Amino acid sequence: MHKKAIRKISFVYPPYGVVKNEPGIKVVKENYGMFPSLSLAYVASVAEHSGRQIQFIDANALHLSKDQVVGRIKAFGPDLVAYTITTYLFHQTLSWIRDIKAATGIPTVVGGVHVGIYPKETLHHEAIDYGVLCEAEEIFPKFLDALSEDDDLSKVPGIVYRDPSGEIVQTENASLFMDVDNAPFPARHHLPNEEYFSFISKFKNFTALLTSRGCPFRCIFCEQGGLTFRPRSPGNICDEIQQCYDAYHIREFDFFDSSFTTDKKRVIKICEEIINRKQKILWAIRSRVDLVNEEMLKALFEAGCRRIYYGIESGDEQILETLNKKVSLDTVRDVMIKTRKSGIDTFGYFMVGSPGETSETVKKSIKLSLELDLDYAQFSKVTPMPATRLYEMLMEEKGVDYWRDATLAGGEAPLLPRPQCDMSDEEIQFWTRKAYLKFYFRPKYIFRALLRIKSWHELVRSVYTAVSMFWQGNDLFAKSWTKRVQY
């Protein structure tokens, strides 16, 4: 058991690369942008507010090597090193945890949704000493106090740890639903805010922002589905925006909520608050297509929202029903028209490899993306994630908990099959790239995209991504199939 008072904590966000089950194709993943780890920044803020000194090392944004990170940690001299660990990147993050622990000998704590799903499996790896399974605002200070005072950790709810005998102990679940307005803002004063961007962001500095937690809808592929929706108040949100604007010179925001538009009255109030405070910002949101109307779109535009990421998912009605989207293609068409008329850009999310997917249904999705005249589109390969109905379907079909096995092994998970989908991974990869090339390499689209570019940096970024996509796409078509698919 660790008996040293916890006064200083290093938070490390390692770099990440493309993995086998990554939903995005390689060129998109590599050029999508650079985003802060909000989850880790929230926990760092919680620790700082509890009286600890913190160090935040965004090795991803700063392109730091392991040796450079170890050097920074040793210079700071923390009592604990903290990470967030995700399902996709479990193996990559674990390799950093192991090497840093070996070089420093400092105990390690991890958090994140994956740890909450597979707590004991995560601590199966001896480089990890502790795991926090619930929201950090309530749990983390209690954990740190118990650790500092050498108290009985079994009294702290919502954690997992290794006792002196080596047994992995998971404490009782903590059903704590704090008022999200009470959460401290992410520790952006420790982040390299000037390094963050998305591939379509217009201004620097740029950041992500969360205005709510949970989502009341139950799409079968989403981990957030069915979790209690807990929104922040408009005043609290705009206080964070103001801090970002004044202290960190941030001018563009990506609201990362699963569905920002869940409560229409709240959306209008947020827009009114932004306007009343004269906050001149550019921002983007995510939404279901059935949660917006013309009144909301007008308010969003007036408040500076210039892009909506819509979860369209498929051009096939039966697949949408299977995914539990509960939305018609006619609604999709109508909302895209209204959004464009409002002056807000449309970004459509599509998935390839859903239950019931075939080459014919993928063609429908591509056709729909062109018909809608979207400003942007993203085509992702379906990956069944733990704690989703889609993953339950996979386990029922195959009798294997792939993510649990991969967590125990500490190695990258094998390519996961897709439930009720007969398409091979090679076919899904082919059609995903085909969709990108069909959408983005149209003369009309290229001309319109060039007119949108606001800076030299954005032009270079766009051209590089386009060239990479074109050549990687051609390489795939030349090598992956001996028999070409006709479309």
Bond into 193 cis (ω within 30) = no
Query: Once rounded to an integer, what is the mean pLDDT over residues 76-90?
Result: 95
Please tell me the distance from the alpha carbon of residue 135 to that of residue 45, in angstroms, as a whole number: 13
In the predicted structure, residue 415 carries a pLDDT above the cut 90: no
Write down the CATH number for the domain with range 196-382+418-479: 3.20.20.70
| 336-341: Cβ within 8 A, 24+ apart | 336/289, 336/310, 336/372, 336/373, 336/374, 338/292, 338/293, 338/294, 338/297, 339/292, 339/297, 339/308, 339/310, 340/373
CATH 3.20.20.70 domain position(s) in the chain? 196-382+418-479
Structure tokens belonging to residue 58: 């965004």
Q: Give the Å distances, CA to CA, from 155 to 128, 150, 175, 380.
A: 20, 12, 15, 43
- Residue 400 makes CB contacts below 8 A (sequence gap 6+) with none
Please tell me the distance from the alpha carbon of residue 447 to that of residue 440, in angstroms, as a whole number: 11
Measure the N-to-C terminal CA separation of the chain; round to a whole number of Å.
Answer: 62
Please tell me the distance from the alpha carbon of residue 451 to that of residue 248, in angstroms, as a whole number: 29
Of 341, 339, 345, the closest CA to residue 201 belongs to 345
Which residue's structure tokens are 């949100």? 237
Residue predicted with more confidence, 359 or 179? 359
Q: Name the CATH superfamily, with its identifier, for domain 8-170.
A: Cobalamin-binding domain (3.40.50.280)
What percentage of the chain's residues is helix, strand, coil (to nearest 5)? 45, 15, 35
Check: CB of residue 259 under 8 Å from CB of residue 217.
yes
Model confidence at 204, in pLDDT bands (50, 70, 90)? confident
Model confidence at 482, in pLDDT bands (50, 70, 90)? very low
In the predicted structure, residue 468 carries a pLDDT above the cut 70: no
**Which of 109-123, 227-241, 347-361, 445-459 shows the lowest per-residue confidence on average (mean pLDDT)?**
445-459
* 259-286 pLDDT tens trace: 899 999 999 999 999 999 999 999 999 9
**Which of 345-359, 378-392, 433-447 shows the lowest per-residue confidence on average (mean pLDDT)?**
433-447
In the predicted structure, residue 431 carries a pLDDT above the cut 80: yes
Please tell me the distance from the alpha carbon of residue 448 to that of residue 432, in angstroms, as a whole number: 23
- Residue 454 makes CB contacts below 8 A (sequence gap 6+) with 202, 203
Task: Please state the pTM of the whole predicted model.
Answer: 0.90
CATH 3.40.50.280 domain position(s) in the chain? 8-170
Supply the pLDDT for residue 302.
Answer: 98
Supply the pLDDT for residue 453.
Answer: 66
Please tell me the distance from the alpha carbon of residue 149 to that of residue 72, in angstroms, as a whole number: 27
CA angle 120, 121, 126 (to 5 degrees): 85
